[in-house]
């Protein structure tokens, strides 16, 4: 009987010793973690979740414009993005106003080898129409040729718009599916008030249709890279000179007719213009031939 009681007492004492040893071990673990500046695993996981950087910020850095800066057209944009953001060395940038309306579109061009996982510098110039709102967002979009939502990614920078006086002009684009090559449709553009309103309207024409207008089946027949070299209005005639891009690889009478119609109608909206003479590098003969 005495032996049984002694055995039970020994088991109880042994259990107490084990519990105390475990408690001391746990206490020592927590104490050591704090002394070396490493919180327990649960606390580490919580801190990591709180300090996690969004993937977009890890993949793209915008140097200019800085957030909430005042911007005006043309807007110079610079930064760097991981190579995976580019396709064929570029990706799109959109500017929207406070209501979400797109008022400008540009293409960021890689300033180096883009087929790399590292950051690659980019630059862009974005021309935009004056906004009716005070604020907006510059939206950088990862180029996504697959069109799959899981591959889409974007990064936004808030901006403010400079307060300026504006006026409205029309630019003319061709409707898809029309059998009339000379048929062009007017759409409005808001521009800063200027004395050279004719040139400003042509510059808006050269920017091409917006994404919304393209969705509405409007397109331009004018090449990218066309520049106005000179515009002069005398005695009711507008003389406008372009660089050689205007007629580069332009073939077919229908396209030539559409180009002339776009330029002519954009200029003839102004009461001081009744006729339009188009030239390329000063030459009027033999240009824009089918």
Q: Say what the pLDDT of residue 20 is.
A: 59
Tell me, yes or no, whether 207 and 273 share the same domain: yes
pLDDT at 255 exceeding the cut of 80: yes
Q: Say what the pLDDT of residue 43 is.
A: 42
Q: Which is it for strands 228-234 and 102-110: parallel, antiparallel or unpaired?
A: unpaired
Q: How far apart are the first and last CA of the chain?
A: 120
Give the domain range for residue 256.
166-280
CATH classification of the domain holding 117:
2.60.40.2550
Tell me, yes or no, whether 170 and 269 share the same domain: yes
Reported as a pLDDT band with limits 50, 70 and 90, residue 250 is confident
pLDDT at 46 exceeding the cut of 80: no
Question: Is 110 part of any domain?
Answer: yes
Residue identified by tokens 């042994």 is: 14
Question: Is 285 part of any domain?
Answer: no
Question: Domain ends where: 137, 161, 185?
Answer: 161
Tell me, yes or no, whether 272 and 170 share the same domain: yes
Tell me, yes or no, whether 178 and 272 share the same domain: yes
Question: Is 253 part of any domain?
Answer: yes
Reported as a pLDDT band with limits 50, 70 and 90, residue 36 is very low
Question: Domain ends where: 131, 161, 191?
Answer: 161
Tell me, yes or no, whether 146 and 189 share the same domain: no
Reported as a pLDDT band with limits 50, 70 and 90, residue 5 is very low
Tell me, yes or no, whether 75 and 111 share the same domain: yes
pLDDT per position as a tens digit, 92-109: 999 999 999 999 999 999
Question: Is 286 part of any domain?
Answer: no
Tell me, yes or no, whether 85 and 190 share the same domain: no
């Amino acid at each position: 009987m005495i032996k049984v009681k002694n055995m039970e007492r020994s088991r109880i004492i042994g259990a107490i010793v084990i519990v105390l040893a475990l408690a001391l071990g746990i206490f020592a673990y927590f104490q050591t973690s704090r002394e070396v500046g490493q919180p327990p695993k649960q606390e580490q996981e919580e801190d990591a979740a709180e300090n996690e950087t969004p993937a977009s910020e890890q993949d793209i850095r915008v140097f200019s414009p800085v957030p909430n800066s005042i911007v005006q057209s043309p807007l110079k944009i610079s930064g760097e993005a991981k190579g995976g953001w580019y396709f064929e060395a570029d990706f799109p940038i959109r500017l929207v106003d406070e209501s979400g309306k797109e008022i400008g579109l540009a293409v960021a061009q890689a300033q180096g080898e883009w087929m790399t996982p590292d950051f690659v510098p980019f630059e862009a110039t974005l021309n935009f129409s004056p906004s009716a709102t005070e604020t907006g967002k510059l939206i950088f979009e990862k180029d996504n040729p697959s069109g799959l939502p899981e591959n889409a990614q974007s990064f936004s920078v808030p901006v403010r718009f400079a307060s300026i006086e504006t006026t409205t002009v029309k630019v003319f684009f061709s409707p898809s599916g029309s059998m009339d090559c000379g048929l062009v449709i007017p759409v409005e553009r808001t521009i800063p008030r200027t004395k050279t309103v004719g040139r400003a309207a042509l510059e808006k024409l050269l920017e091409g249709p917006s994404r919304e207008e393209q969705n509405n089946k409007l397109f331009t027949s004018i090449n990218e890279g066309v520049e106005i070299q000179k515009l002069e209005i005398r005695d009711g005639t507008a003389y406008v000179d372009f660089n050689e891009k205007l007629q580069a690889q332009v073939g077919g009478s229908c396209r030539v007719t559409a180009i002339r119609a776009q330029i002519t109608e954009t200029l003839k909206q102004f009461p001081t213009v009744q006729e339009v003479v188009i030239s390329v590098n000063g030459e009027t003969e033999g240009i824009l031939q089918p």
